Structure 1
């Protein structure tokens, strides 16, 4: 019976046509930037990216290896934790989030990950970070790592960019064509007859 269910699930997966989509964020990629906001439209899904920080005038910076945040208090353009910097991604529809990949990463870098308004990872070093196929329409990456001496002289531990992220469409189930329904019905009937035969024997 388990084999029959597995085959049926595979047929349903083919019918829905789910596939992964990658949004490339580096220069020349899928993101178009104007100040603190970026927009993208990939594989029929549009969305925005917003820059945020506790420092003044946060805006998106873009490099050949990814995007970060630039403020009036720093000039690296990467996501760093000195003033807490973050990028929020909002899609126009609900999708299955798969992963987000970082670049310009060293051993001191880590990131907080929010899905919607819920933090799902605190100081994660995972690259790429796996969302675990969560269903959502927004996520945020936050850099907040820094160290201070005498509460005055502070230095950021985080200094990275976001290279890309992946998601999967979650379309409404497509009705199976007649041959697919007949196949599932036939497999179920075969399984029933096999169990009955074993009981009789």
Structure 2
């Protein structure tokens, strides 16, 4: 039999001066014993992570805002070295037209969500992706992105570690042996 120990929330600060170390399209972090990576992605050429005082986004050769925006569908994928309970992800530089798609592993769990912070619920995973995909075009040439935001931080809990307790089978065997010993002693006395 096992019981779970308590968990505590850990925050990964993605703002400049925070927990993320960036080299091109990849960033790394190590917070509270959990390490991981962040990868930039886009349908445009040469996506790389951009970092500001208010969070991280994606910069490409065709789009230099540095925010996550939907002009070329940009995303950031977070991969942790161990499985955790995802709590939330918080966005900054958000306006009323912004929304995001959220993937846990390869499964989309939110489509065009405006929730800030976005609450993962009771999800246990080791990877998630935030995608910006909103864009509008007039006359097929004048395009702009409705989505234009950055990711400020995300929170997780360590998954509870099981603590072994004495096996019920051993307790049962010990109890039965005790009853057998008492019965034998009663027979010897009587």
Q: Note whether the superposition's TM-score is higher than 0.5.
A: yes
Partner Cα distance (2:183, 2:128) in 1? 49
Q: TM-score, normalised by structure 2?
A: 0.84
How far did 1:14 drift?
9.8
Give the equivalent residue in structure 2 for 1:88.
77
More strand by percentage: 2
Q: What secondary structure sits across from 1:14 in the alignment? A: strand
Alpha carbons 1:15, 1:175 under 8 Å: kept? no
Q: TM-score, normalised by structure 1?
A: 0.80
1:38-88 deviation digits (Å, cap 9, x = unpaired): 000000000000000000000000000000000001111000000000000
Q: Which shifted more, 68-77 or 166-175? A: 166-175
User: Any unmatched runs of 5+ in structure 1?
Assistant: 1-11
More helix by percentage: 1
Larger radius of gyration: 2
Alpha carbons 1:15, 1:176 under 8 Å: kept? no
Q: What secondary structure sits across from 2:187 in the alignment? A: helix
How far did 1:183 drift?
19
User: Any unmatched runs of 5+ in structure 2?
Assistant: none
Partner Cα distance (1:113, 1:198) in 2? 71
How far did 1:150 drift?
1.6
Partner Cα distance (1:128, 1:26) in 2? 15
1:111-158 deviation digits (Å, cap 9, x = unpaired): 000000000000000000000020100000000001011222111001
The count of residues paired between Structure 1 and Structure 2 equals 190
Partner Cα distance (1:60, 1:195) in 2? 76
